[in-house]
């Protein structure tokens, strides 16, 4: 990130870093579209009423006021004020309801946009960042198979980013129904409370979670221990998952013909389908991990978090799940399933830990030298010829000494310098009879015609290296 | 624009409209990068102090407050509060100064981002919209030739958009030095005042401007008339421009050895260079039009506005100019020249007046049919094979009757439907022995292998038509 960015929490990339972010965005978009997702962009603002619906993050909203309203902000109730969106899920829900008549369902959409969190500034927390989301929204109902397919789309997107230094990603999946069925089978009723405490497991440890479960969720020591046992369960195929889960149920007296077990089994079957399908396509890409709870209480089925090999401290870089009740219009519900990548944090990791970097700052492959300011129109004509043929080209800013022009190209990483034929007598350096072009990395210089010359395709490309 | 967008001034595109906007953005980016411009993105917020520096639009700022600060907003002086940027020029100036050590100068950058104006809601005014900017910033100085080249980059970008229905664009250029020299030659001293009134010419007419010039800028009737005569001057080549201008000076007694004429001549020479160079590359793309004043008082040299043939009511769709004093650090100035496209308004025009539309909503070229839910993994395998070969593919949402699946493809505009070989007995429609693929537009159906089949390249492409 650009050093000394003057407002804490609002990261800003230097041009060479932006090349990496742009490459990540382009790559995700390509994968999303290959999978048939439709791109949308929603406005940056929602009403306070819409933003405050969702519990957890309601404290982290930026509200807007027009300059003229300063001092009178409180005349308008918060619900009617405008605020910046803090994620892309709330706006999607609103968009789908608002434009339902114009959409084909199930509506598969991708969206890559900035979001804002009005947090107290603190080390390492972004208050402005980019999210990259995919969701599928059904009208009335939504088949479960999307709970299998969406994490796999994210897996293949993250797989593409490994070329730019991203470590292997593993999706950890769970299912709310499975957890709820198990907790109810144990006799616990505050399901959301239990999920909320379990979600803290990685942060505060098992002992502390056990204490909280007994203190705030009415669990006995034994119930708390059982919840923790469930949270420890992981499996990489459906059969293993079912066997381990059934053993746990038996150990804690949850019988198979109970309502609770039936509910849990429903979740388990979806989860088993996810890991088995994932294993068939990309072994090791998705595992069942029953401690995944996700704090947000709007999830109703599958939940996902994604971790990078060797980067546990980064936390989940791609999270989401199934939500059945986020959007509705009259009696009609719009259930959905989606995942969201915290893109800015990911790019930050790629840049600063994985060592991803642009091979050059400028998109230009060629810098046309200028011998004298009077020759500039000729240099521009050469540049336009190259551009018309798809070769990104810059022209030297001044008719400085040739060494200075080459230094300018070098600073921007432009690999080729073009020497127009119209070398004036007094010019330093080579005075070619016709145009020549020099690869300033290898030093190779050849005669060239701007209507036909082709750069080396590898050298010409602006790309991201590790 | 999506009908019934629920917050006035915050436009939001339907998916098919977003395809057009995305295509416009992609096209501009391509042209900017072909010309060696470097892409950056700045944070959406600046400090109040930074936003309030510039006169004209200071009244149209959205300030932010964290939810917790509601009721105490006024505890923080406006200068220290955060506000959303209202253009991309102020953020660029701040970015260049902040990161000057890490940039190569002259710094050529493109930037396509949303901006916000905290205006009173009114018909047809956007409060959130996308701008597409190019600027060149020098450290200390900046050669004049960029004043020639930047409008030509915009011309070639707008030219590319004609494939999507944009009418021919003409840049109207003027030069502040020319105007100032002329006004001073007439004996007028309130140069900024005169420019501000002249800028209203198209809106309120010559008589009203003449009245304002005499009432607010201390002009005599004759001086006001002379200013209006200058504003009526247009020329499509440098020689014509110089001849007309000199005739006007002679008529109003501005002599060639005066300081005022020397200043005007400096502006005239740059302007002549712009129109002549433009005429050599793209005849008719840039004309000298001396009524172009641009309200913003930070311009110090060339100023540009751009109009579309047959769309005068749209006003200028791409404006900008040279500014020498917007950014500085200690004694060092960062002069710049840049132009900005009001992209949202442009896209709105292309969609609703020029008839630009996506050939389809979905990026997918193929929909794989699903005979039975049990066959879904096989359908997914086919889809993944096609995707691995770069063919965007969707899979039918449910194993509905074939007619319904085809209807889904049709609604999304997906041209090909793929029939996997594993047709179950009971399935409607064809029961092919091997995989087959059908072009649902032409009805043509052929045997196909997902590891080798190639769609018709034209049919497969998601594009924008007119």
Q: Tens of pLDDT along B368-408?
A: 999 999 999 999 999 999 999 999 999 999 999 999 999 99
Domain definitions of chain A by residue range:
15-357, 366-465
Give how far B305 is from chain A: nearest CA, Å. 23
Other beta carbons within 10 Å of A243:
12
Tell me which residue of B419, B382, B385, B414 sits closest to B399, measured CA to CA. B419
Note whether B36 contacts A5, CB cutoff 8 Å: no
Give how far B260 is from chain A: nearest CA, Å. 27
Residue B403: its pLDDT value, please?
Answer: 95
CATH 3.40.50.800 fits B366-465, yes or no: yes
Strands B45-47, B82-84: pairing kind: antiparallel
Q: pLDDT category, B422, cuts 50, 70, 90?
A: low
Residue A209: its pLDDT value, please?
Answer: 94
Give how far A215 is from chain B: nearest CA, Å. 29
Average pLDDT over residues B83-96: 95
Residue B1: its pLDDT value, please?
Answer: 43
Note whether B15 contacts A21, CB cutoff 8 Å: no
Note whether B45 contacts A128, CB cutoff 8 Å: yes
Note whether A67 contacts B45, CB cutoff 8 Å: no
B385: chain A residues, CB-CB within 8 Å:
none
Residue A58: its pLDDT value, please?
Answer: 52
Facing A43 at nearest CB: one of B40, B66, B128: B128
Residue B2: its pLDDT value, please?
Answer: 43
Facing A64 at nearest CB: one of B21, B37, B64: B64
B22: chain A residues, CB-CB within 8 Å:
39
Contact (CB, 8 A) for A342 and A367: no
3 state DSSP class of B435: coil
Instruction: List, edge to edge, every strand of the sheet that includes A286-289.
Output: A38-39, A107-116, A128-137, A336-342, A318-323, A302-308, A169-175, A286-289, A234-235
B102: chain A residues, CB-CB within 8 Å:
2, 14-15
Question: What 8-state DSSP symbol labels residue A451?
Answer: T
- Kindly report, residue by residue over A4-25, the tens digit of the pLDDT: 447 889 999 999 999 999 999 9
Q: What are phi and psi of B303, to 5 degrees?
A: -130, 145
Note whether B65 contacts A62, CB cutoff 8 Å: yes
Q: What is the pLDDT along chain A (466 residues), one digit of tens a residue?
A: 444 447 889 999 999 999 999 999 999 999 999 999 999 999 999 999 889 875 544 568 999 999 888 888 888 888 889 999 999 999 999 999 999 999 999 999 999 999 999 887 666 689 999 999 999 999 999 999 999 999 999 999 999 999 999 999 999 999 999 999 999 999 999 998 999 899 899 889 999 999 999 999 999 999 999 999 999 999 999 999 999 999 999 999 999 999 999 999 999 999 999 999 999 988 999 999 999 988 667 899 999 999 999 998 889 999 999 999 888 888 899 999 999 999 999 999 999 999 999 999 999 999 999 999 999 999 999 999 999 999 999 999 999 999 999 999 999 999 999 999 965 444 555 555 799 999 999 999 999 999 999 999 999 999 999 9
3 state DSSP class of A247: helix
Facing A36 at nearest CB: one of B47, B66, B362: B362
How would CATH label the architecture of B15-192+255-357? Answer: 2-Layer Sandwich (3.30)
B12: chain A residues, CB-CB within 8 Å:
41-43, 95
Q: What is the DSSP string of A382-442?
A: HHHHHHHTT--EEE-SS---HHHHHHHHHHHT--EEEE-S---TT-SS---SS-EEEETTT
How would CATH label the architecture of A15-357? Answer: 2-Layer Sandwich (3.30)
Q: pLDDT category, B120, cuts 50, 70, 90?
A: confident
Residue B387: its pLDDT value, please?
Answer: 97
Q: Give the residue carrying structure tokens 């002069």.
A: B335
């Amino acid at each position: 990130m650009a050093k000394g960015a003057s407002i804490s929490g609002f990261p800003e990339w230097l041009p060479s870093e932006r090349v990496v972010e742009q490459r990540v965005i382009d790559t995700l978009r390509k994968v999303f579209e290959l999978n048939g997702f439709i791109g949308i962009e929603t406005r940056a603002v929602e009403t306070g009423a819409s933003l405050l619906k969702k519990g957890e993050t309601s404290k982290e909203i930026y509200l807007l006021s027009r300059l003229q309203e300063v001092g009178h902000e409180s005349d308008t109730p918060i619900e009617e004020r405008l605020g910046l969106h803090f994620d892309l899920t709330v706006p999607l829900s609103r968009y789908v309801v608002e434009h339902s008549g114009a959409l084909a369902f199930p509506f598969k959409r991708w969206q890559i946009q900035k979001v804002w969190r009005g947090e107290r500034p603190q080390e390492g927390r972004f208050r402005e960042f980019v999210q990259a989301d995919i969701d599928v929204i059904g009208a009335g109902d939504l088949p479960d198979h999307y709970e299998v397919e969406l994490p796999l789309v994210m897996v293949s997107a993250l797989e593409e980013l490994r070329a730019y230094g991203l470590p292997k990603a593993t999706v950890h999946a769970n299912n709310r129904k499975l957890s709820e069925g198990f907790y109810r089978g144990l006799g616990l009723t505050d399901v959301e409370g239990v999920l909320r405490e379990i979600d803290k497991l990685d942060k505060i440890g098992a002992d502390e979670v056990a204490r909280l479960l007994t203190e705030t969720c009415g669990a006995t020591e034994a119930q708390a221990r059982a919840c923790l046992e469930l949270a420890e369960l992981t499996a990489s195929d459906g059969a293993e998952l079912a066997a381990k889960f059934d053993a746990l149920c038996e150990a804690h007296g949850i019988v198979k013909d109970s309502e609770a077990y039936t509910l849990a089994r429903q979740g388990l079957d979806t989860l088993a389908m996810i890991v088995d399908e994932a294993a068939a396509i990309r072994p090791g890409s998705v595992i069942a991990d029953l401690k995944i709870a996700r704090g947000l209480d709007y999830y109703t089925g599958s939940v996902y978090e994604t971790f990078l090999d060797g980067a546990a401290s980064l936390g989940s870089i791609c999270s989401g799940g199934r939500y059945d009740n986020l959007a509705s219009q009259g009696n009609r519900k719009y259930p959905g399933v989606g995942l969201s990548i915290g893109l800015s944090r990911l790019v930050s990791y790629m840049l600063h830990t994985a060592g991803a970097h642009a091979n050059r700052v400028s998109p230009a492959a060629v810098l046309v030298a200028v011998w004298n300011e009077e020759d500039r129109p000729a240099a521009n004509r050469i540049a336009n010829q190259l551009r018309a043929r798809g070769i990104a080209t810059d022209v030297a800013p001044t008719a400085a000494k040739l060494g200075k022009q080459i230094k300018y190209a070098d600073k921007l990483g432009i690999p080729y310098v073009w020497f127009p034929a119209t070398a004036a007598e007094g010019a330093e350096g080579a005075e070619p009879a016709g145009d020549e072009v020099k690869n300033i990395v290898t030093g190779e210089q050849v005669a060239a015609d701007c209507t036909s010359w082709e750069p080396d395709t590898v050298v010409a490309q602006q790309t991201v290296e590790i």
